[in-house]
Structure 1
């Protein structure tokens, strides 16, 4: 069997550079959508229902995109057509999302906001899966963990940019951070414009700087003829499910608790910090204090991405020394401590220490499951199995979205800080569940 050539560091860098921009857009969404929807009139305990759009889009789109990209080849390549198409649509959504006042005479702002959220999430999901598969397609086995570590670094650089934009525009460029009721502050609007531009330009870099292997060459790297590869690609979806690698199911348990916590964090960190640190009353979403807290949450999200990026630089070497499972489990444990510590801190700057743990866990979640899984997947089915694996990302988010509003209202009496504590407990469980996973590279 012909071996894939080793890639230079910059070739590996180019594979995932577009993910930097995609994640910048995704980070802007994560840090600001609750704020935008609240500005448009959404109730606090209904926010999780709007956020269900994201995992539902992932559930529907990513398996389809994975299977379609396995069978695609045109002048752009196999994965790149989906990456570029998704990026263009996501950029459009980002330009429109904060501008509901344009269509207020036609459609209520909250409905327009929900539609734009759906468009952005659908588009992000079209790009996410092919980027994951592109690393698996292009890297030889000995460079796979490195490939996903570099991708994790770039993801978090993008998240830093997206998370900090509203804070920077407000505090260093004197752009308004408040707006009349029913409208979005200029700092958020301009952040979405800039984020959309960064997204599209970075994706174009990957599209034009990366050359995918042609079908015949790719088949040779798998030890097959082109005809055998085409037959494998055409096997039924049912047969694909039946022959699913066991490790995918084992990782699903870890993924459940990992992503249940992440969804909870994205939805409730802003109200949790506003109530717990700034002392804002329940239901407040438009005061200067709430908007100040929201900007600081954007900074915190940027900081956990800084810590994730820093950890991703050494994560490959740590995993080589201690094993991917031990590295993954310890990272989740440290992340759980980060969540739980938020309850005990009373000052905004102390929360930076909490973000160290969250960032380490986030880096591991972005890299380790995919590095473990990619070693167990048949090459011709990488796209479809990565798409199926995304179900383990979106299902826990859907469950969190359905349950969290009820838990917040009736169990925690709308004190959002307790949702963050619940997220910490979820990561503790994920940390323990890592040891049920069978990794081909051992412990």
Structure 2
């Protein structure tokens, strides 16, 4: 009884978990500004549209390498400030630097010799800032997720709840970011942003990103001051020998590596203490090779889910402008229809974010009732229906346009409903895979930082595939966004089947012999 009371007393309070998760709002605020403002700004600087898609590839490419490296080093960081918080602060500082580079790229290019008609130097500066921004975002997000996992330990319920908070703040950041990007009067508040090299549109973007800096600084402060991390000291270990265990290896591998060193050890409180990874980044390949089957299933469903998501996330507003409104950005007569559709798509993205936030509040409860694997499967089925629905909406819009009419009210309403409904499965995608990975990693005694990095590989690899292949795939079927959307529907369906049939189903909570679970970065001494 006393042990149970001590466990409740010493564990990280919910308020602290909310504070840690709040940094997601600052990060996602910046992402929303990128999605809503940077594509037009890219073309304003003079970057060809065909090259713009290649610039967006820097995100998944940097994420493929940065998050596993950051995850590994945060697992073994011995800073007195904690394992995760130095990387969170470093990532936030890089984001601020990158945002300033992007926002002032036109001014810097002009100082270096650009003219108002040709801006090659501004383009180079912008691309550098863009790559630094993606690198910084990938540096920041992994340790935030890992810190939540450290603070929740083996308590699966609290872990799901913490990831739901993270998803909720991502939705809040999306809503605020899209709303900020939709307003065109920020430059009047930050009047110094309007310069000879930076017109009103450029000044508005610059002002919006300055607001993003303020938002990120505030949420980062809340996150790193939520609860103290106990500094990790690999030398001071009680009643145990330091063992090198690669995170996420199969149980048999871990048991065989620990049997020699632990054969004569007495069972004590340190038996369940988190194993610290001595693996270098080059050992990540070995970790993937020896990955246990349940973890491979999680990666498989994650990859299928993101293959389904990325076509829509990359081309959702373009679909509204082209297919639903019948517009064409390069046609002077049809460009107005196109941008009317784009603006309506932005409204759809805001509705999507609202539903995402509301759904995040329910995920922990629904997962407890139905099980995480079934919730993930249901979410993917909803995605399948919605992506097929985009084909039906497109067909109805084409019929109206062929009759010489604009899109009818019910067609536009149906498209907005699809945007909104997709917020629920997006909330699941943002939380359940990470909760399952954290739970399984705790079970096998792996490092949370590297586990998040490994899971990130199943996110960024599909993004590279979709970014490179969606254009040729669409052209193969006479252009338009429908081929990629329907491919996404098929991938979501496969992901739903795999989630229900293959994913591990852990019990509601892993038992810890009725005593407190401690980790290197736990605030409990």
The TM tier, using the shorter chain, reads 0.7 to 0.9
Q: Deviations over 1:73-132 (max 9, x none)?
A: 323211111111111111222233244322153534444333222111100000111111
Cα distance in 2 for residues equivalent to 1:174 and 1:337: 44
Mapped contact 1:48–1:405 kept (Cα < 8 A): no
Residue 12 (structure 2) aligned to one of 7, 10, 13: 7
Give the equivalent residue in structure 2 for 1:425: 490
Residue 115 (structure 1) aligned to one of 121, 128, 142: 128
Mapped contact 1:30–1:266 kept (Cα < 8 A): no
Q: Closer, same or farther in 2 for the Cα pair 1:42/1:67, shift >3 Å?
A: same
Mapped contact 1:270–1:293 kept (Cα < 8 A): yes
Cα distance in 2 for residues equivalent to 1:271 and 1:41: 20
Q: Return 5+ residue gaps in structure 1 as ranges.
A: none
Shifted more, 266-275 versus 98-107: the winner is: 98-107
Mapped contact 2:76–2:276 kept (Cα < 8 A): no
Cα distance in 2 for residues equivalent to 1:376 and 1:305: 29
Q: Closer, same or farther in 2 for the Cα pair 1:110/1:282, shift >3 Å?
A: same
Give the equivalent residue in structure 2 for 1:321: 369
2:503 counterpart SS class: coil
Give the equivalent residue in structure 2 for 1:215: 232
Mapped contact 1:268–1:416 kept (Cα < 8 A): yes
Cα distance in 2 for residues equivalent to 1:337 and 1:186: 41
Shifted more, 33-42 versus 198-207: the winner is: 33-42
Cα distance in 2 for residues equivalent to 1:181 and 1:406: 36
Mapped contact 2:23–2:219 kept (Cα < 8 A): yes
Residue 25 (structure 1) aligned to one of 30, 35, 39: 30
Shifted more, 205-214 versus 143-152: the winner is: 205-214
Cα distance in 2 for residues equivalent to 1:337 and 1:323: 22
Mapped contact 2:387–2:486 kept (Cα < 8 A): yes
Q: Closer, same or farther in 2 for the Cα pair 1:175/1:201, shift >3 Å?
A: closer
Cα distance in 2 for residues equivalent to 1:258 and 1:117: 26
Q: What displacement does 1:349 show? A: 4.4
Cα distance in 2 for residues equivalent to 1:83 and 1:338: 36
Q: Closer, same or farther in 2 for the Cα pair 1:240/1:15, shift >3 Å?
A: same
Q: What displacement does 1:10 show? A: 0.8
- Superposed counterparts of 1:373-388, under 5 Å: 373-377=437-441, 378-388=444-454
Residue 82 (structure 2) aligned to one of 77, 92, 95: 77
Q: Does 1:359 align with 2:386?
A: no
Q: What displacement does 1:13 show? A: 0.3
Cα distance in 2 for residues equivalent to 1:296 and 1:92: 32
What is the total number of aligned residue pairs between the two structures? 437
Cα distance in 1 for residues equivalent to 2:190 and 2:55: 28
Cα distance in 2 for residues equivalent to 1:325 and 1:319: 8
Shifted more, 316-325 versus 253-262: the winner is: 253-262
Q: Deviations over 1:368-413 (max 9, x none)?
A: 1111111111445211122122111111111111111222334342
Cα distance in 2 for residues equivalent to 1:355 and 1:420: 13
Q: Does 1:404 align with 2:421?
A: no
Mapped contact 2:95–2:132 kept (Cα < 8 A): yes
Give the equivalent residue in structure 1 for 2:461: 395
Q: Closer, same or farther in 2 for the Cα pair 1:241/1:32, shift >3 Å?
A: same
Cα distance in 2 for residues equivalent to 1:248 and 1:304: 30
Q: Does 1:311 align with 2:359?
A: yes
Q: What displacement does 1:160 show? A: 1.3
Give the equivalent residue in structure 2 for 1:253: 300
Q: Does 1:234 align with 2:278?
A: yes
Q: Does 1:164 align with 2:174?
A: no
Give the equivalent residue in structure 2 for 1:148: 163
Cα distance in 1 for residues equivalent to 2:310 and 2:185: 27
1:78 counterpart SS class: coil
Shifted more, 309-318 versus 421-430: the winner is: 421-430
Give the equivalent residue in structure 1 for 2:326: 279
Cα distance in 2 for residues equivalent to 1:292 and 1:73: 53
Mapped contact 1:170–1:187 kept (Cα < 8 A): yes
Residue 101 (structure 1) aligned to one of 106, 110, 119: 106
Shifted more, 2-11 versus 109-118: the winner is: 2-11
Q: What displacement does 1:290 show? A: 4.5
Cα distance in 2 for residues equivalent to 1:267 and 1:239: 33
Mapped contact 2:168–2:358 kept (Cα < 8 A): yes
